[in-house]
Amino acid sequence: MAAGGGDETSFINAIQTDAAINPGNSGGPLLDMSGRVVGINSAIARAPGSASGTGGNIGVGFAIPSDQAAKTAQQLIASGKAEHPIIGVKLDTRYTGEGARVLDPGGVTAGSAAERAGLKDGDVIVRFEGKKVTGSDQLVVAIRSKNVGDTVRLTVERAGQTIDLTLTLQGSG
């Protein structure tokens, strides 16, 4: 899910909920029926066109899964910073087809995991870990749900051919 407003966007792996999340109570726990914490409330959906400070909850909220929150907390405790997994590409946000298109030119970062795996500018990533990629936001969220150092499989379309690639996720920092 992409969250944020104005020029600021964050990508999070999120649990969608109809529990009431209103401005001021994000950061609180999302509980299951047994009172167990399953997530950290982090965002609410707003009516289209409403300003960030107005509109209130329209009945849809999002929470960061507790396992993701615990992983981030452990990183912060250990090193003082959180590291996110990346593949080392810039995605073409204007692309409207199925999958996520690597920017062409300049999409693959020199020395990145993507370059080592053989990803090329203009490739369209159509599967990540065997699951269909519907767009660039969904691909970023799928990558962020993994760990730095994990090995993942990508399926790309290049010049009418389908190619399977394997790469090891690198850290963002």
| pLDDT tens digits along 34-62 | 999 888 888 777 666 555 555 555 677 88
Same domain, 91 and 75: no
**pLDDT one-digit tens code per residue, 104-157:** 999 999 999 999 999 999 999 999 999 999 999 889 989 988 889 999 999 999
Look at residues 169, 167, 117, 172 and name the one whose alpha carbon lies nearest to residue 148.
Answer: 169
Domain of 130, CATH number, reads 2.30.42.10
Residue 68 pLDDT > 50, yes or no? yes
* Same domain, yes or no: 37 and 111: no
Tell which of 79, 107, 130 closes a domain. 79
Same domain, yes or no, for 55 and 111?
Answer: no
Given this model, what pLDDT does residue 50 score? 55
Are residues 99 and 138 located together in one domain of the fold?
A: yes
- Return the higher-pLDDT residue of 62 and 100: 100
Task: Work out the pLDDT band at 25, boundaries 50, 70, 90.
Answer: low
Q: What is the pLDDT of residue 173?
A: 60
> 66 with 124, same domain?
no
Mean pLDDT of the 163-169 span: 96
Number of domains forming the structure of the chain: 2
The CATH number of whichever domain residue 56 belongs to comes to: 2.40.10.10
**Distance between CA atoms of residues 68 and 85, nearest Å:** 12
**Which domain-ending residue is among 63, 79, 95?**
79
Q: Which domain holds residue 122?
A: 85-171
My answer on whether 138 and 121 are in the same domain is yes
